[in-house]
Amino acid sequence: MRFQIEKAVEMLSQTPSTVKSLLGNLSDDWTKNALDSENWSPFDIVGHLIHGEETDWIPRAEIILGQGENSIFEAFDRFAQFEKSKGKTINELIETFAVLRAKNIEILGEMNLDEEKLKLKGIHPELGEVTLEQLLATWTVHDLNHIKQLVTVLADRYAENVGVWKQYLSILQ
Amino acid sequence: MRFQIEKAVEMLSQTPSTVKSLLGNLSDDWTKNALDSENWSPFDIVGHLIHGEETDWIPRAEIILGQGENSIFEAFDRFAQFEKSKGKTINELIETFAVLRAKNIEILGEMNLDEEKLKLKGIHPELGEVTLEQLLATWTVHDLNHIKQLVTVLADRYAENVGVWKQYLSILQ
Interface touch B10/A17, C-beta < 8 Å: no
Q: What is the largest CA-CA distance in chain A?
A: 60
Instruction: Find, among B132, B140, B3, B133, the residue nearest to B64 by Cα.
Output: B132
Average the pLDDT over B98-114 and give the result: 98
Residue type, A19: V
Residue B23 predicted with pLDDT over 60: yes
The DSSP code for A73 is P
Interface touch A128/B164, C-beta < 8 Å: yes
**Cβ contacts of residue A36 below 8 Å, gap of 6+?**
none
Which pLDDT score, from 0 to 100, does residue B83 have?
78
Interface touch A169/B138, C-beta < 8 Å: yes
pTM: 0.95
Average the pLDDT over B104-133 and give the result: 96
Interface probe for B, chosen from A12, A20, A154 (most Cβ of B below 10 Å), is A154
Interface probe for B, chosen from A148, A149, A168 (most Cβ of B below 10 Å), is A148
Q: What is the largest CA-CA distance in chain B?
A: 60
Across chain B, mean pLDDT equals: 92
Do residues B71 and B121 touch, judged by C-beta distance below 8 A?
yes
Average the pLDDT over B104-120 and give the result: 97
Q: Which residues of B touch A158 (CB under 8 A)?
A: 1, 3, 137, 140-141
pLDDT tens digit sequence for A87-146: 899 999 999 999 999 999 999 999 999 999 999 999 999 999 999 999 999 999 999 999
Interface touch A138/B10, C-beta < 8 Å: no
d(CA A119, CA B28): 25
∠ CA B107-B112-B114, nearest 5°, is 135
User: Using 50, 70 and 90 to split pLDDT, how confident is the model at A74?
Assistant: confident
Q: Taken in order A163, A167, A168, A170, is the CA torsion positive or negative?
A: positive
Please give, rounded to a whole number of angstroms, the shortest distance from the CA of B112 to a CA of chain A.
Answer: 20
Interface touch B29/A17, C-beta < 8 Å: no
Instruction: Find, among B45, B27, B55, the residue nearest to B145 by Cα.
Output: B45
From its phi and psi, is residue B67 left (phi > 0), alpha (psi between -120 and 50) or beta? left
User: Using 50, 70 and 90 to split pLDDT, how confident is the model at A69?
Assistant: low
Among the partner-chain residues A3, A148, A167, the one whose CB lies closest to the CB of B148 is A148
Interface probe for B, chosen from A14, A15, A38 (most Cβ of B below 10 Å), is A14
Cα dihedral angle (B132, B135, B139, B144), rounded to 10 degrees? 120
For A138, name the nearest residue in chain B, comparing CA atoms only. Answer: B162
**More confident of the two residues B58 and B40:** B58
Average the pLDDT over B21-25 and give the result: 97
Helix (H) or strand (E) holding B63: helix B57-66
The DSSP code for B122 is E
Q: Which residues of B touch A3 (CB under 8 A)?
A: 158, 161
Counting one residue from A and one from B, how many pairs have CB atoms under 8 Å apart? 162
Q: Does A131 touch chain B (CB under 8 A)?
A: yes
d(CA B36, CA B41): 9
pLDDT tens digit sequence for B31-57: 876 555 567 899 999 999 999 999 999
Instruction: Find, among B26, B22, B17, the residue nearest to B150 by Cα.
Output: B22
Please give, rounded to a whole number of angstroms, the shortest distance from the CA of A86 to a CA of chain B.
Answer: 24
d(CA B93, CA B73): 26
Do residues A19 and A91 touch, judged by C-beta distance below 8 A?
no
Instruction: Find, among A89, A91, A97, the residue nearest to A50 by Cα.
Output: A97
Across chain A, mean pLDDT equals: 92
Instruction: Find, among A99, A141, A116, the residue nearest to A12 by Cα.
Output: A141
DSSP B67-96: T-S--BPPPP-TTTHHHHTTT--HHHHHHH
Instruction: Find, among A171, A158, A25, the residue nearest to B148 by Cα.
Output: A171
Beta pairing partners, A121 = A131
Which pLDDT score, from 0 to 100, does residue A115 have?
96
pLDDT tens digit sequence for A3-51: 999 999 999 999 999 999 999 999 999 987 655 556 789 999 999 999 9
